């Protein structure tokens, strides 16, 4: 028997889940959750946290507010901090990002935001749980084809999806998940079992095989997603889905996570935008790289395809912001933008003749971006590998830049604080 359980402030939990079966959506409702596990939802002032949030004062938004704020979390993949003009010293970037610039003008802009790891899986574990990846024994990416061992997310962990779902929020996850074993679609580690009412565009592996519909290649399938007509660009379709969801859930408190595959490899973008960048003098410079400590590091941001991918991501951000405005949701919606790690700018080759190898290796020569002046990039524990963009736009908070060091593990508890939700005593977290 299927039972629908609505969530009220008295403490009844909503467990509406959406799963995928050959692109057919099946909705079901789990059994009730004991009161012991539920979040306290009352009208008292929410708990405030020490550390960076206390210094920044983000918790001020929810003080005295009875209406629950909505949340939109936008996650880029491999977007380096220096890919955005707002973080560059002269504020003039090689990549055009007018919509992110517009968002930044209304946000707290964290100049010293860090991922908890320079690779995808460990950093995403932190983002979803508020804990450091070492607690999960995830020292690096454990994923096909690099290892025969797959990382499996511990289903006992309380993700922020579950936290908000139990707090009466409608929750949606769209795009890259990368925390489950692609060989087992029926364990309890997938987003539909980790607190998200509905999911779209989840890949069985770390990324999709192609940015253009039908998106699949060599087994990199999207398992609960019906592609748009052939040739549709994935970044655009994920944005279409996001805006459709916002229209659907606009009357209820919601958490929508848009986890883009962009700007991760493969390097693919709409040709019109590629042509616009290739016509600029910057993108005709000779390719130059540093060769130091067995590393190849790209010095210039001069890859027109990657630039077009960044601009496509920026366009997505703008469309989501415009939809919130159109639906009258901007004044009660908190928008968070970040990336899982730094940009892909560096490769390592333990060869005697590094320059010979450099000239011979086409993949190394096609590194997509540069994190300069930060050192190295994705995969390295230098600034270029772990320094990420982080913007938080919330009504009632003064827009400004902030130099206080923060990590993506801080996002989870900060969101709870702003929503007036509390963690059960048993839920440890490293984020503040």
Query: pLDDT tens-digit profile of 134-161?
Result: 887 776 655 444 444 556 677 788 999 9
Query: pLDDT tens-digit profile of 235-255?
Result: 999 999 999 999 999 999 999
Q: What percent of the chain has pLDDT over 90?
A: 48
Domains and CATH numbers, the chain: 16-419 (3.40.720.10)
DSSP type of residue 44:
S
Q: For residue 269, is pLDDT > 90?
A: yes
CB atoms within 10 A of CB 173: 28
Question: pLDDT tier at 20 (50, 70, 90 boundaries)?
Answer: very low
pLDDT of residue 22: 28
Burial letters 319-352, b for 16+ CB under 10 A, else e:
bbbebbeeeebbeebbbbbbbbbbbbbbbeeeee
Residue 145, preceding bond cis, omega within 30 degrees? yes
Q: For residue 63, is pLDDT > 70?
A: no
2-16, 126-140, 142-156, 308-322: range with lowest mean pLDDT = 2-16
Q: Phi then psi for 395, rounded to 5 degrees?
A: -55, 135
Q: For residue 210, is pLDDT > 60?
A: yes
- C-alpha to C-alpha distance for 153 and 162, rounded to whole angstroms: 14
Q: Phi then psi for 310, rounded to 5 degrees?
A: -65, -45
């Amino acid at each position: 028997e299927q039972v629908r359980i609505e969530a009220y402030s008295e403490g009844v939990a909503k467990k509406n889940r959406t799963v995928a079966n050959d692109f057919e959506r099946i909705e079901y409702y789990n059994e009730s959750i004991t009161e012991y596990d539920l979040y306290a939802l009352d009208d008292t002032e929410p708990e405030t946290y020490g550390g960076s949030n206390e210094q920044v004062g983000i918790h001020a938004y929810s003080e005295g507010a009875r209406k629950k704020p909505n949340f939109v979390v936008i996650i880029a993949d491999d977007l380096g901090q220096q890919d955005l003009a707002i973080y560059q010293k002269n504020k003039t970037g090689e990549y055009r990002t007018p919509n992110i610039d517009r968002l930044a003008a209304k946000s707290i802009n964290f100049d010293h935001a860090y991922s908890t790891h320079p690779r995808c899986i460990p950093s995403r574990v932190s983002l979803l749980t508020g804990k450091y990846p070492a607690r999960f024994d995830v020292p690096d990416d454990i994923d096909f084809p690099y290892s025969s061992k797959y990382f499996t997310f511990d289903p006992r962990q309380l993700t922020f999806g579950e936290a908000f779902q139990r707090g009466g929020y409608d929750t949606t996850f769209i795009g890259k998940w990368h925390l489950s074993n692609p060989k087992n679609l029926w364990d309890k580690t997938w987003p539909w079992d980790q607190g998200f009412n509905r999911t779209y565009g989840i890949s069985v592996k770390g990324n999709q095989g192609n940015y253009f519909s039908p998106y699949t290649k060599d087994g990199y399938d999207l398992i609960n997603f019906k592609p748009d007509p052939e040739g549709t660009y994935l970044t655009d379709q994920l944005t279409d889905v996001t805006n459709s969801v916002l229209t659907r859930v606009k009357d209820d408190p919601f958490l929508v996570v848009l986890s883009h595959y962009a700007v991760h490899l493969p390097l693919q973008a709409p040709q019109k935008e590629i042509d616009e960048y290739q016509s600029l003098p910057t993108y005709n410079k000779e390719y130059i790289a540093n060769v130091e400590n067995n590393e190849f590091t790209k010095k210039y941001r001069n890859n027109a395809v990657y630039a077009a991918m960044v601009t496509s991501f920026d366009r997505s951000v703008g469309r989501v912001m415009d939809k919130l405005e159109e639906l009258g949701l901007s004044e009660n919606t908190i928008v968070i933008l970040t990336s899982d790690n730094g940009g892909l700018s560096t490769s390592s080759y333990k060869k005697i003749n590094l320059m010979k190898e450099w000239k011979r290796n086409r993949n190394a020569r096609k590194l997509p971006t540069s994190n300069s002046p930060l050192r190295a990039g994705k995969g390295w524990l230098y600034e270029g590998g772990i320094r990420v963009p982080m913007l938080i736009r919330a009504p009632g908070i003064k827009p400004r830049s902030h130099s206080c060091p923060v990590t993506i593990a801080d996002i989870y508890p900060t969101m709870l604080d702003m929503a007036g939700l509390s963690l059960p005593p048993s839920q440890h977290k490293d984020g503040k």
